[in-house]
Structure 1
Amino acid sequence: MPFSIDSLSLENRIDALFAAQQGQAVPGYAVGVLHQGQVLLSKGYGLASLEHGLPIRGDTVFRIASVSKQFTVSAVLMLAAEGRLGLNDDMRRHLPELPELPAVVTLEHLMRNCSGLPDFLEMLRLGGVGLDLHLSRARMLQLITANRHLSFAPGSRFLYCNTNFLLLGLIVERISGQSLAEFLQQRIFEPLGMKRTAMCCEIDQPVAQLASAYLQAPDGGYRRALHGFEQGGEGGMVSTVEDLLLWSRQFEQARLAPLDLPALLAAPTTLSGGQASLYARGVELGRFAGLATLGHGGLWPGFKTEFLRLPEAGLTVVVIANGGHLEPYRIAREVAAEVLALPAYVDAAMDMASLIGEWFSAPHAGQPEPALLELAVRDGKLIATQWGMPFQLTPAADGSWVPLRGAYEFKLRPSSAELLEVEVGAGLTQRFTRMIERPALPADLAGSYRCEHNGVHWVIAAAPGDDGTLQAQISGPVLADGGLWTLRGLSSEVVELQGQLYWMKSSQLLRPQRDARGRVTGLLVDTSRVRNLLLQRS
C-alpha cells in the first residue's frame, strides 16, 4: 500500500503528541483521523490492559459513554420520520408512568438538553450513591418517576442531563418493540459496517477486546476503575475509533434513512428567551481554529472519548482514552491542528497569577443562583474548579478564557483585580468577587432535611471538636449511610457542602430558606446538573 512522505511526516508529528504513552506501561489513547474520505491514522498509544501488557490499537474497544447520545437521538429521529412519534410529543405520552410536572417536557426538549429535568446521576449522588454501586435501569426509572421537580422552565436554558437520554432510549424501546441494543444494531451498526460497536447496558457483560479502565492513584500509580450502574440511551455503547470514523462518514454521505438524518442531528435551536443554544440534538456545536465543529465527548470512570468533526475541512478526529487523568478533548484538537497545519490554541500572553484564588458569585438580579469558582495555576496552565470538578482554561482571541471540555457553557472575563464575569449561556452572566477568607457558618443550620423528589435525607450536626464545623450525614432511598459531608461558609445566604464519592469530589451550594420569623425551613440546593432543588426541614 503506497505511503506518502507527507503521511509519514503527519504520523510522526501526531506520535510526538503521545510521547508520554509510547513504549510505557501506562493507560493511553486510541486515535483515528478521517480527512476528505481517507483514513489518515488509526493507531494506539499505551496499554489496553496493564495486567496483561496488551497494547491499544485502532480496533480496541472502549466504553464511549455520552458519545452514545447521538445514536439514541438518531433512533428517535428515525421513528419520527416513520410517523411513529412526534418530536413535540409530551414525553409522558410514551412513558405514562412518569409523574405530571410543573410544565410539559417534550421529546425535543430531551434531545436538546433543555428539559429542566434534574440529572438522575446527580439526584442519586445527593444520597451518597457513587457510580461504583450496582443499580439496574429498572431501579433508575423507578427513582426518576418519584421526581416532580424541574430546575427551570423547559426550553429556557441548556443544562446537561443524562435523564433526558435514558428516557429517550426507553421511548425507542416502547415504540419499536425492540431493545435499544437490537434497534441500533439493525438500523445503524450493521448497515454502516460498525462491527465492533454495540449498546451494552449491563456493565458486567463480557465484551471482546474491551480495554480496561484506570484511575490514577495519589501515588502516581493506577487502580482499576469500578463500574456498577447499568446504562442505556445516555451512555451505554462500546465502540472503536475505526467504527466511529465509519459513523462520521454517514454525516458526509448519508446512507441511513431518513437521508436528512445528519442535518436533523446538527440543526441548531433557539431557547425560549431568544438566545442560541450550542447543543443541537445529541451533538454539540462549537468552533475551533476559526472552523465550525460538531461532536460530543464521553466520560465514565476511567474512560474518556472525544468525537470531533470539522465539516468545513472534511476532517474527523476520534480520540478515546482508558485513563481518567487523560485528556481526549485537548488531544483531539491538537491532532486536528496538525492535520490542517493550524495553531491549536491562541498564543496569547495573558496574566494568570492575578486570577489565582477563590471567587464567589452571590445571587443577583438576572442570575438568581449562586456560584463558586476556584482558579489555580498548575504546570503553567490555568485550572478552574467548579462543582468539585477541575478543568483547564485556555485563552480565546477576544481576551476571555474558555474551558478545554465540552457541554459546558463558560466564558470568563476578568473585569478588575477583584471582579470576574462569566457568561453561562441563555444570556446569563455571573459576577464573581474574590474571597479573602471564608465566613463562619450560620448558627442555625443543624437539623434534619428531606427531599420529596429523590428521597434524600440529610442530618446536619456539629462535627466532633469545638471549631464550629458542621457535617451532613447523607442517606437516601438506595444507601442508608452515604457518608459524612462537610459544610463551609460562603456568605450569610449561601453555604457550600463538600462531598467525596468513589472517584470524584463534589461541591453543592445551599441557600437556607427562612420563614417570616427568620427560622430555617429548608435548603435550596444547586449542583452542576440540578438547580433549585428543595430539601425541607423536618
Structure 2
Amino acid sequence: MKTDLHSKVDALFADLAGRAVPGLAVGVLREGEVLLNQGYGLASLSQLTPIRADTRFRIASVSKQFTVAAALLLERRGLLSQDDDVRSHVPELAALPERVTIGHLMRNTSGLPDVLELLRLGGVNLDQRVDRAGLLAAMARNSHLNFAPGSRFLYCNSGFALLGLIVERVSGQSLDALLQAEFFGPLGMGSTAMLVESDVPLPGLASPYLPDGQGGWRRAQHGFEHGGEGGLVSSVPDLLLWAAHLLQPTPGVADLAEALGARVPLNQGADSPYAHGLEHSRLDEFAALGHGGLWPGYRTEFLLLPEANLAVVVISNDGALNPYKIARDIARLVLGRPAPVPRPDAAAALLGTWLNAEQGQLFELSLQGGRLMAQQWGASFELQPEAEGRWLPLRGAYEFELLGLQQDGGLRLGMGAGRSVDCRRVTSRVALPAGLAGDYWCEDIATRWRIEAHEQGLRVWVEGPLLKAQQAWTLHGLDDRLFELRGAGYWAPTHLLLRAEYGHDHAVSDLIVDSARIKGLRFKRHTAL
C-alpha cells in the first residue's frame, strides 16, 4: 500500500510514466527508517530496462566525501596529516608558488587549477580517452595557483584526484580496496565500488543520457578514467546506508561524521561553505549538509538535514534534470514545508547580460518558464528568491549570490569569502583590440593558442599535449582589454574570459585567462626567432 509520501513523489514524476525516457531513483530516510526507495524512467533506452530502487549509477563528485573519509581514517592512524605538504606525497608535482597541504585538498581551498579545465583549455573534452597517468601528468606540469592556499573556496577536482592518490600511496592499497574494507563491506553497501575505467561494463549500471537538442536523447560518452575525485558507482539504498551511518554511527565502523562536516575558516577569517568532502547550506530554517555529483548523463544529490534526522538521495541518468532542486522539493514534502514560489515579477528588472571587468565576472540572466536562470562559464542554473531581494543558485558548491540592484543601476554579486562586486549591464559589444592575432603559449598546460583572422572576426585554434587536431574557438569583445572566448565543447560549452596585457610597443604581450575553476592563467605571446 502506497503511503502519502509515495503518492506525492509519484506525482512529481508522473510525466515519466509510460515513456521511453531516462529518469531517476529517489530515496528518503528519516529517524533511521527508509520511507521511500523508488525508481522512475528507464535505465536503458535501447533495452527498455526500467530504473529500479537498486539501479546503479555513477555518483561522480559524491565520491569525494568517501575519499576524504579514507584520508581522515589514515590520519587517525598516524599515517598522514592534514598539515602535510602535498608534494611530500606526490613529488612529481611541479614546484608551486606557495605550500599546499592535504587539508587544503579536502576543503577545496588549495588554489590549484581544476584538472578537467586544464585539459579543456588544451582542447580535450570529457568524451576523449585520458587515463589516470595522463591526468596526473596534466596536474604535475602545472605550477600555477589561482589564489593563496586557504584564502578562498573554489571547487577543484585536482585536489581530490591527488587526495585519492595519496591515500593509495600511504595505505599501500587501492582506494577501492580500502573503502570496501573500512566502510562499504561493514555497512552492507554491496552496490558501491570504484570504477576507474570509463568503458568497463557493470551489471545493473544505468546508461547515461543527454538531450540531443531535437526532443530526443543521445548516450553520453565518457573518456576520462576516474579516481578519488569522482570514481564511485553506487545506488540509492547504499547511499541511504551511508547517510544512516553519518546521522547515527554504526558500531564497529569509523565515526567520521563530525570530521567530515567540520568547517575551517579561510585565512582572513571568513566562512567557507565547504567542509571536508561535504558542503554546508540551508533548507529554509534547517542546516543542511550534502554534496552533488555531475558527469555527462549522470547527476546526483546527497542531502542530509541532521536537525530533522532526514536524508534524501536523488540519482539520475538524465543530464537535463536537477537533483539538487528535486532533493529539496522532496525534503519539503517530508517536512510539510511549502515549496518556494517563482518570482518572475521580481526577476524582470534583473534580466540581461552583466559584467564586472576588473573581477572577471560575466553572466546572463533570463526568464525560462517563469523562473530566473543564470548562465555563467557555459553552465546554466536556476536562481531561487530569498529575503531582501537576494537570489541564490539551485546548485551546490558554487559561490554566486545576487544581492540586489543598486541605485546607480548596477547589480551587486556576492562571490564568497566576504567578497562582493557591482556589475554593470552590457548593452553593446566592442571591437576586439588590434594586434591580437598571433601565437600564445602556456607552459602550465603545454598548450599553444593561435589567434587568426576569420571571415566572421577572430578565431582561436587550440593545440595541447593530448590533442593534436586543431579545434576552433571564437572571440567576442567586451572592452578594449577584456573579451570572451566561446567554444562548442562536449556536454557543456566552453566560455572563458581573456584579458590582454600590453608590452612597451603597445602590442598584446600576454593573455590572462579566467574560467569557472581557473583564475589568472597566463599565455605568453610566442614570437618566432
CA–CA separation in structure 1 for the residues paired with 2:371 and 2:164: 39
RMSD between aligned alpha carbons? Answer: 1.3
Hey, what does 1:532 align to over in structure 2?
Answer: 520
Is 2:413 the counterpart of 1:422? Answer: yes
> CA contact under 8 A between 1:136 and 1:230: conserved in structure 2?
yes
Shift of 1:398: 3.0
CA–CA separation in structure 2 for the residues paired with 1:80 and 1:102: 26
Hey, what does 1:240 align to over in structure 2?
Answer: 235
Shift of 1:349: 6.4
Is 2:259 the counterpart of 1:281? Answer: no
SS at match of 1:20: helix
SS at match of 1:299: strand
Is 2:35 the counterpart of 1:40? Answer: yes
> CA contact under 8 A between 1:250 and 1:256: conserved in structure 2?
no
CA–CA separation in structure 2 for the residues paired with 1:242 and 1:344: 26
Hey, what does 2:380 align to over in structure 1?
Answer: 390
Long gaps (5+) in structure 2: none
Amino acid at match of 1:168: L
Bigger CA drift: 241-250 or 429-438? Answer: 429-438
Amino acid at match of 1:484: A
Deviations 1:214-257 (A, max 9, x none): 00011110000000100000000000011000000111222377
Deviations 1:55-77 (A, max 9, x none): 11110000000000000000000
Shift of 1:350: 4.3
CA–CA separation in structure 2 for the residues paired with 1:348 and 1:217: 30
SS at match of 1:212: coil
Amino acid at match of 2:409: E
SS at match of 2:8: helix
**Shift in CA distance, 513/256, structure 1 to aligned 2, threshold 3 Å:** farther
Hey, what does 2:333 align to over in structure 1?
Answer: 338
**Shift in CA distance, 358/92, structure 1 to aligned 2, threshold 3 Å:** same
Q: Map 1:84-233 onto structure 2 (within 5 A).
A: 84-233=79-228
> CA contact under 8 A between 1:157 and 1:271: conserved in structure 2?
yes
Deviations 1:425-451 (A, max 9, x none): 012112111111111111111010010
Greater than 6 Å deviation, 4+ residue runs:
none
In percent, how many aligned pairs have the same letter?
Answer: 52
> CA contact under 8 A between 1:294 and 1:309: conserved in structure 2?
yes
> CA contact under 8 A between 2:182 and 2:253: conserved in structure 1?
no
Shift of 1:392: 0.7
Q: Map 1:354-503 onto structure 2 (within 5 A).
A: 354-363=349-358, 369-416=359-406, 418-464=409-455, 469-503=457-491
CA–CA separation in structure 2 for the residues paired with 1:52 and 1:181: 30
CA–CA separation in structure 2 for the residues paired with 1:482 and 1:103: 34
Hey, what does 1:52 align to over in structure 2?
Answer: 47
Hey, what does 2:18 align to over in structure 1?
Answer: 23
CA–CA separation in structure 1 for the residues paired with 2:253 and 2:40: 37
CA–CA separation in structure 1 for the residues paired with 2:128 and 2:470: 11
Shift of 1:517: 3.5
Is 2:503 the counterpart of 1:515? Answer: yes
Deviations 1:81-120 (A, max 9, x none): 0000011100111111112110000000000000000001
Shift of 1:196: 0.4
CA–CA separation in structure 2 for the residues paired with 1:455 and 1:156: 27
Hey, what does 2:62 align to over in structure 1?
Answer: 67
> CA contact under 8 A between 1:197 and 1:237: conserved in structure 2?
yes
**Shift in CA distance, 395/350, structure 1 to aligned 2, threshold 3 Å:** farther
Amino acid at match of 1:161: C
CA–CA separation in structure 2 for the residues paired with 1:79 and 1:108: 13
SS at match of 1:98: coil
Shift of 1:347: 6.3
Bigger CA drift: 303-312 or 415-424? Answer: 415-424
> CA contact under 8 A between 1:188 and 1:256: conserved in structure 2?
no
CA–CA separation in structure 1 for the residues paired with 2:339 and 2:77: 42
> CA contact under 8 A between 1:346 and 1:396: conserved in structure 2?
no
Amino acid at match of 2:389: G
CA–CA separation in structure 1 for the residues paired with 2:71 and 2:416: 27
Shift of 1:345: 2.3
CA–CA separation in structure 2 for the residues paired with 1:346 and 1:420: 22
Amino acid at match of 1:488: H
**Shift in CA distance, 405/123, structure 1 to aligned 2, threshold 3 Å:** same
Shift of 1:380: 1.0
> CA contact under 8 A between 2:260 and 2:276: conserved in structure 1?
yes
Amino acid at match of 2:387: A
> CA contact under 8 A between 1:118 and 1:530: conserved in structure 2?
yes
Shift of 1:493: 1.8
Hey, what does 1:324 align to over in structure 2?
Answer: 319
Bigger CA drift: 389-398 or 191-200? Answer: 389-398
Shift of 1:480: 1.4
Deviations 1:117-152 (A, max 9, x none): 000100100111000001100111112110100000
CA–CA separation in structure 2 for the residues paired with 1:91 and 1:398: 42
**Shift in CA distance, 425/257, structure 1 to aligned 2, threshold 3 Å:** farther
Amino acid at match of 1:296: H
**Shift in CA distance, 487/371, structure 1 to aligned 2, threshold 3 Å:** same
> CA contact under 8 A between 1:198 and 1:237: conserved in structure 2?
yes
Hey, what does 1:366 align to over in structure 2?
Answer: none
Hey, what does 2:245 align to over in structure 1?
Answer: 250
Shift of 1:504: 1.3
> CA contact under 8 A between 2:85 and 2:100: conserved in structure 1?
yes
SS at match of 1:264: helix
Amino acid at match of 1:523: L
Hey, what does 1:9 align to over in structure 2?
Answer: 4
CA–CA separation in structure 1 for the residues paired with 2:387 and 2:349: 19
Give the TM-score taking structure 1 as reference length: 0.96
SS at match of 1:277: coil
Amino acid at match of 1:89: D
Amino acid at match of 1:126: L
CA–CA separation in structure 2 for the residues paired with 1:461 and 1:184: 50
SS at match of 1:13: helix
SS at match of 1:332: helix
